[in-house]
Chain A
Amino acid sequence: MGKYIVKKLLIAVVTLFLVILILFLFMELMPGSPFNDPKLTDEQRMLLEKSYGLDQPVMVRFFIYLRNILKGDFGVSYHLSINTPVTVMIRSRLPLSMKIGFLAMLFGSAVGLCIGFLAAFHRGKAVDVISMIITVIGISVPSYIFAIALSYFVGFKWRWLPLLYDFRLPARSIVMPVLALSVFVMAVIARFTRDEAIAVLQSDYVLFAKCQGTSKATLLFRYVIRNSLMPVITVMALLLVGLLTGSLVTEQIFSIPGIGFLLSSAITSNDYNVVIALSFIYAAIFVTVRLLLDILYGIVDPRVRVSGNDPV
């Protein structure tokens, strides 16, 4: 077991290193030095590039950067917010994006699980058909369309909730973004839960339990939920990565100061320290979640540990 974990850990570290390298090289291809403000003179620009170490060769810059990342220093923002350390900018945003992501996940999966189990127990009946329609719509309609609809009706027409994020009303402000983001989660989880639960319901041991005269409630809690939850959790974990890192469009629509908005602004204004930092954070979260999943699978299923194959 120890060997397996160490191996997975090593792979994660190598992956992260490669990610940083690729991001760095990619950014080198970006047009322009960060100091391309029209109001700067050539002398100023040279002095600046020197003070930020941009006149060094590429490899030297990369290793300086790598060392700084390990110290938690992502440099300063060049364009978005002049001279502000990137860490300062992310520090205030990440918790908000994560909070909204977590809540969307929580709400979406709670509803999704209910719909999924209901549909599985009433397979082929009206409930199943309705749930299928809901999930197809949830998966087909982009979340920003839900966001637009919510802000129009709930925020503007009915005036129940603030239209835009207001830090004076933090709890009420995040209700709409959470709802808009949770629709997709709900649909995916519902569909997956339904398929899993049906498979469990069709299995021989459930048939046996039924023959023994087990009550419906026991059947549900002891057999169906227990056995169909594990694969569903895998899907949840992967969905969570996407949600934690914020949604560009939803944050834009509700004017939420989260990292999704930060990323899109950073990309359009060529602020490459911010882009690298955010991409690194995204990749780090992604790799961590995958690592945890791998380890979890290793614990649950010894075969994985021995063969070393990734669970697909």
Chain B
Amino acid sequence: MDQELAVQAVHRNPSIAFPEDGFKEEDFQFVKREEGLETDHTYSGESFFRAAVHRFFARKANIFGLVLLCLLVLMSIIGPHISGYSYDEQDLEREGLAPRIPGILSGAETLSGTRGDIEVNRYEELGLDDVYYFFGTDSLGRDLFSRCFQGLRVSLLIALAAGLIDLVIGMNYGMISGFFGGRTDMLMQQFVDVASSIPSLVIVTLLMLILEPGIGAIIIALMLTGWMEMSIVARAQVLKLKEQEFVLAARTLGAGQFFILFREILPNIVGTLITQIMVTIPNAIFLETFLSFVGLGLPIGSCSLGRLISDGFDNCLLHPYQLVPCMLLLILLMIACNLIADGLKEAFDPGNRNAV
């Protein structure tokens, strides 16, 4: 019950006489105390975005994902500078050192030899008393701590690029195809059909052979293959909205095609598009690690999570610590992205069960 109803209630009470000189403010009093007058959230005038944000933060898993992602981004910025060793500085003398953290890890490791275990502490062998490599060193004596976070930085860069490609190519392609319909739509969809029938793996690997391997090549590969899903999602959304009344209204008022598409429809589908971006990003990160694992990744000298994992895998029997940290980072990054994507999906589209 809101204030107006309360006033009416007083007004209708027949036991109160009408004063001749009219009503004064003090003649009125609230029937109930303020705490009794609850606002009904169902009908509150909260914007769609607010509601989505509200729903998003209502789930603990989403907050966990977001915090994790922020932490990872932060570490990718400051991580490579913490240990004081640069990520690409080689020191062949110090190759294969086990992790050593003051007070926690001594730098000793157990190798499983063919005739029983061998206990070694390479720090002591080399007389490195006050030297600490938190994650150890790789087979060229480079600090794995710096390398892991540098690799994370590269993976996040690829994620950023994938998101932008989704927005620039996928979103526009899908929206235009869906909005204009007819022959345009048919041709554009036919193209997507054919393009998606070529295994993206083949496109990517061939590209890696033609182009110089590197981030550039991976991004071009993403451009060629990554936008299709986004375009399908954007098209479906536009198809759903373009017959609605507000579009008709805008059209009646003489709005241009592109004005309707980008000013009227776009704000209404932005949530779904953001969700789709969060779905694309883990795929892009995975693509890079996969390519590096198969041996088609980044050029030498640079480092990425995929490169680290594949290098670490070659030695994981000998030195498991070379594989574990970078693998954990990748898993955490993937989990964070997937949790956020899930959360956004539910937050923006609570009713639609098929939004994948």
Q: Report if A and B touch in the complex (beta carbons < 8 A).
A: yes
Nearest residue (CB) in A for B341 is A139
Which residues 190-211 of B sit at the A interface, judged by CB distance below 8 A? 190, 193-194, 197-199, 201-202, 205-206, 209-210
Which residues 142-185 of B sit at the A interface, judged by CB distance below 8 A? none
Q: Is the CB of B331 within 8 A of A145?
A: yes
Known: A140-B282, A249-B294, A287-B197. A282 touches B331 (CB 8 A): no
Q: Is the CB of A141 within 8 A of B334?
A: yes
Give me 17 A-to-B residue pairs in the complex whose CB atoms sit less than 8 angstroms apart, sorted by A's number. A11-B190, A22-B194, A30-B210, A31-B209, A132-B61, A136-B335, A140-B334, A141-B334, A142-B286, A199-B353, A263-B201, A264-B205, A267-B202, A282-B199, A286-B197, A286-B199, A312-B236
Q: Is the CB of B335 within 8 A of A279?
A: no
Please measure, in the bound complex, the distance between the C-alpha atom of A132 and the C-alpha atom of B190, giving whole angstroms: 37
What B residues does A141 contact at CB under 8 A?
A: 331, 334
Q: Is the interface of A mostly helix, strand, loop or mixed?
A: helix
Nearest-CB distance from B204 to chain A (Å)? 10
Residue B85 at the A interface, CB < 8 A? Answer: no
By Cβ-Cβ distance, the 9 closest A-B pairs, closest first, are A140-B334, A199-B353, A140-B335, A282-B199, A279-B202, A267-B205, A18-B194, A283-B197, A15-B194
- Give the contact stretch, choosing among A90-98, A190-198, A210-218: A190-198
Which residues 177-227 of A sit at the B interface, judged by CB distance below 8 A? 192, 195-196, 198-199
Other A-B pairs, 20, CB within 8 Å; known A142-B286, A248-B290: A15-B193, A15-B197, A19-B197, A19-B198, A27-B206, A29-B210, A30-B206, A136-B61, A140-B282, A140-B337, A142-B330, A145-B331, A199-B353, A248-B294, A263-B202, A267-B205, A267-B296, A270-B209, A283-B199, A312-B236
What B residues does A102 contact at CB under 8 A?
A: none
Known: A30-B209, A31-B209. A192 touches B356 (CB 8 A): yes
Please measure, in the bound complex, the distance between the C-alpha atom of A270 and the C-alpha atom of B330, giving whole angstroms: 31
Nearest-CB distance from B189 to chain A (Å)? 7
Nearest residue (CB) in A for B186 is A308
Please measure, in the bound complex, the distance between the C-alpha atom of A294 and the C-alpha atom of B87, giving whole angstroms: 51
Known: A132-B61, A144-B293, A196-B353. A137 touches B335 (CB 8 A): yes
Known: A249-B294, A268-B295. A282 touches B202 (CB 8 A): yes
What B residues does A231 contact at CB under 8 A?
A: 354
Which of A148, A270, A310 sits near B316, CB closer than 8 Å? A148
Q: Is the interface of B mostly helix, strand, loop or mixed?
A: helix
Known: A11-B190, A145-B331, A249-B293. A267 touches B209 (CB 8 A): yes
Residue A23 at the B interface, CB < 8 A? Answer: yes
What A residues does B290 contact at CB under 8 A?
A: 142, 144, 248-249
Residue B327 at the A interface, CB < 8 A? Answer: yes
Nearest residue (CB) in A for B351 is A199
Nearest-CB distance from A236 to chain B (Å)? 13
Residue B338 at the A interface, CB < 8 A? Answer: yes
Residue A275 at the B interface, CB < 8 A? Answer: yes
Please measure, in the bound complex, the distance between the C-alpha atom of A31 and the C-alpha atom of B210, giving whole angstroms: 7
Residue B218 at the A interface, CB < 8 A? Answer: no
Known: A199-B353, A312-B232. A139 touches B199 (CB 8 A): no
Q: Is the CB of B189 within 8 A of A310?
A: yes
Number of B residues with CB within 8 Å of any CB on chain A: 38
Please measure, in the bound complex, the distance between the C-alpha atom of A278 and the C-alpha atom of B61, giving whole angstroms: 42
Please measure, in the bound complex, the distance between the C-alpha atom of A286 and the C-alpha atom of B335, giving whole angstroms: 29
Residue B313 at the A interface, CB < 8 A? Answer: yes
What A residues does B202 contact at CB under 8 A?
A: 23, 263, 267, 275, 278-279, 282
Nearest residue (CB) in B for A139 is B338
Nearest-CB distance from A269 to chain B (Å)? 11
Please measure, in the bound complex, the distance between the C-alpha atom of A248 and the C-alpha atom of B295, giving whole angstroms: 11
Nearest-CB distance from B192 to chain A (Å)? 10
The bracket for how many chain A residues form the interface is: 35 or more
What B residues does A270 contact at CB under 8 A?
A: 209
Residue A26 at the B interface, CB < 8 A? Answer: yes
Q: Is the CB of A11 within 8 A of B354?
A: no
What A residues does B335 contact at CB under 8 A?
A: 136-137, 140
What B residues does A11 contact at CB under 8 A?
A: 190, 193
Which residues 281-321 of B sit at the A interface, judged by CB distance below 8 A? 282, 286, 289-290, 293-296, 313, 316
Contact with B along A148-164 (1 / 0, CB 8 A): 10001000000000000
Please measure, in the bound complex, the distance between the C-alpha atom of A88 and the C-alpha atom of B330, giving whole angstroms: 39
Residue B219 at the A interface, CB < 8 A? Answer: no
Nearest residue (CB) in A for B282 is A140
Which residues 85-126 of A sit at the B interface, judged by CB distance below 8 A? none
Residue B339 at the A interface, CB < 8 A? Answer: yes
Please measure, in the bound complex, the distance between the C-alpha atom of A196 and the C-alpha atom of B353, giving whole angstroms: 7
What A residues does B199 contact at CB under 8 A?
A: 245, 279, 282-283, 286
